Amino acid sequence: MEKKAGKEEAEAVELLGKTVENKQIIFKGYIEGIPKETDMELRIGKKLKLEKVPKGSGGLLVKNLYLSCDPFMRGRMRNFTGSYIPPFIPGEVIEGFGVSKVLDSDNSDFKPGDIISGFTGWEEYSLIYKTEQLRKIQADDIPLSYHVGLLGMPGFTAYAGFYEVCVPNIGEYVFVSAASGAVGQLVGQLAKLHGCYVVGSAGSKQKVDILKDKLGFDGAFNYKEEADLDKALKRHFPEGIDIYFDNVGGSMLDAALINMRINGRIAICGMVSQQSLSDPQGIHNLIQLITKRVKMQGFLQSDYLHLFPSFLEDVTSLCKEGKITYLEDMNEGLESGPSAFVGLFSGKNIGKQVIRVAHH
């Protein structure tokens, strides 16, 4: 799977100067409700000549290899500038996390042939000028696509959220929703490795089986088959929940609140069930925060970036030792992007939703 750096560089040099068809996925305009495939469109644009990056620009010309579908991107489809990240621009290429190969560089931190991860465009080739958050990937045995999943933002979200926000203790009862998703699957496995009792919820029998059989969860249930989420949680947590890693919000959060133990902690992450609602579902059981002295905390992984190096070291080791498994839902070709992204909101994916733009 891995090729030598020299080979990567040779390919980069070879592409430079060529004229390519640069397929792009365009954001059509601001939306309400659940994203639809028609909110995006494939543009097979004018031919692009892969020229050297202008001197003094500090930029990079890259070939995109993998793109990441993440629920937070839904937030950028609203015309709202007050968030932590600006909205997409209608008519422009969608932006997201990706893994890319550097073809040319005017930045001394990167050279042709380097494989990098960070923000890029949903297109085959991108010119990147915002280079501060790009990271060079060291070649090893781990699939490159993991750098937008297990070893990227979702994995780091799980790591920072679980250790820093949930502050787990050995033996505690941990509940994870959207447990087979990009974040949830790592939260559950870290919790098991930490000595916790872990139950996850997901939206299909297949996902539930994977949680129990492949990811080592102590229990799992299909929330779509539970008439009463409170009862489902009571069945799985007769002693109550110490830590709820909430990836969905909504009625699952309400049910979890009733089942929290004293001094419990709830990490609020993503709220995927609520991302698309202009009038989000009401949460009715917050009074439980008082009676059970529960701490509920929203967080963004970007506030914990000082921990990224130790995350990368820890999780890379665990992965290489076979102590952590990571499920990906790989979608072939840039064309599959809109459908893959939309699938996030219907729970179509099993594991991290990734688009393979190019084999390298």
Q: Could you tell me if residue 84 is left (phi over 0), alpha (psi between -120 and 50 degrees) or otherwise beta?
A: alpha
User: Quick one: which segment of 41-49, 98-106, 266-274, 341-349 binds a second copy (CB under 8 A)?
Assistant: 266-274
Q: Which amino acid is at 221?
A: F
57 vs 297, which CB is nearer to a second copy?
Answer: 297
Which of 15, 42, 48, 268 touches a second copy by CB under 8 A?
268
Which of 287, 306, 309, 359 touches a second copy by CB under 8 A?
287
CB neighbour class for 107 (10 Å; exposed up to 12, middle 13-18, buried from 19): middle
- The DSSP code for 163 is I
User: Which residues, at least 6 apart from 325, have a Cβ–Cβ distance to it below 8 Å?
Assistant: 185, 189, 214, 215
69 within 8 A of 4, measured Cβ to Cβ: no
User: Quick one: which segment of 34-42, 92-100, 122-130, 284-292 binds a second copy (CB under 8 A)?
Assistant: 284-292
292 vs 360, which CB is nearer to a second copy?
Answer: 292
Which of 32, 132, 141, 279 touches a second copy by CB under 8 A?
279
Which of 281, 308, 318, 330 touches a second copy by CB under 8 A?
281
| Number of amino acids touching a second copy (CB under 8 A) | 34
Tokens 């830590």 -> residue: 243
Q: Which amino acid is at 65?
A: L
User: Quick one: which segment of 26-34, 43-51, 268-276, 348-356 binds a second copy (CB under 8 A)?
Assistant: 268-276
The reply to whether 294 sits near a second copy by the rule CB under 8 A is yes
Tokens 């929940």 -> residue: 241
Which of 107, 204, 274, 325 touches a second copy by CB under 8 A?
274
24 vs 275, which CB is nearer to a second copy?
Answer: 275
The reply to whether 32 sits near a second copy by the rule CB under 8 A is no
Please state the φ and ψ torsions of residue 232, each to the nearest 5 degrees.
-60, -45
* Helical pair 229-236 and 250-258, crossing angle rounded to 10 deg: 50
The reply to whether 298 sits near a second copy by the rule CB under 8 A is yes
- Token digits of residue 353: 């939703």
* Residues contributing to the site for a second copy (CB under 8 A): 75, 83-84, 249, 253, 268-271, 274-275, 279-300, 303
